[in-house]
Amino acid sequence: MCVILTEPVDTVSINDRQSVINKMARIAEPGRRAAILAVARDLFSRQGYARTSMAQISTQSGVAHGTVYLYFDSKLSVADALVESYISGISDILSKSLSGSLGPEQIKICVHNILLYASKNSDIIRLLDIRANLGLDNVRPHADKKVQRILRAAITEGIRRGRIREYDSLAAAELVSGLIEWITRICFIWLKCDTSRFEKTAIQMLEHALIKS
């Protein structure tokens, strides 16, 4: 059974939030934003998203409750920022691992490195599942679009070089990223198992599906 989480009503009014933003827009500090995200991540991980409030995040990060809204307009926007950061990490891995086009060696490196990265960020993957429960899985994170662009470019170049089978490169990119995401959901949300159980099989499947023999 899927439990639908709802966002509690914050005690700070919209007018109050806007007033804070207008007065303090010039003194927003990146370091403070990072501190808020670090505290929120810890709270989400330890006590769950639903049991965490913006008031708790502001108290434990040492930021006034009203000031928190200078950086994030809701608890959900805090979670979204953590998700964006996680997915940006995946795009960085792809950028470093894919030199030009996609081939057997690049597939192995990418799958291994992404699953290793995911295992260190399993708490963020659980936030992705919460977004789905809130009905927000149709709102694609901005960083995910970059992941798709990198994969599509590598697949397109592989097809051009004759290394990759002829596919719709956009559809192929979506399927590749979807397989990896599905593995992380299985390992960190549903079965709670090690990614090594799926890594070899995922690599073999992608090689057979993509690489010309």
Q: What is the mean pLDDT of the chain?
A: 85
Q: Which of 11-15, 101-105, 165-169 has the lowest mean pLDDT?
A: 11-15
At residue 196, the pLDDT reads 92
Residues 6+ apart with CB under 8 A from 183: 115, 195, 198, 202
Decide: pTM greater than 0.75.
yes
Percent pLDDT > 90 in the chain is 67
Burial 67-104 (b: 16+ CB within 10 A, else e): bbbbbbbebbebbbbbbebbbbbbbbbbeebbeebbbe
Domains annotated on the chain, with CATH: 14-73 (1.10.10.60), 77-210 (1.10.357.10)
162: left (phi over 0), alpha (psi -120 to 50) or beta: left
Distances (CA, A) of 132 to 6, 72, 177: 12, 20, 17
CA nearest to 194, candidates 184, 205, 203, 204:
184
Distance (Å) of CA 93 to CA 88, 118, 150? 9, 11, 10
Give residue 172's pLDDT. Answer: 96
Residue 32 identity:
R
Burial class (CB in 10 A: 0-12, 13-18, 19+), 142: exposed
DSSP 187: I
Per-residue pLDDT, averaged over 165-191, amounts to 94
What is the pLDDT confidence band of residue 191, given thresholds at 50, 70 and 90? confident
Compute the distance between CA of residue 212 and CA of residue 163 in angstroms, rounded to an integer.
6
CA distances from 37 to 57, 108, 110, 151 (A): 9, 32, 27, 28
pLDDT score at 143? 81
pLDDT digits (tens, 9 = 90+) for 106-142: 999 999 999 999 999 999 998 887 777 776 666 667 7
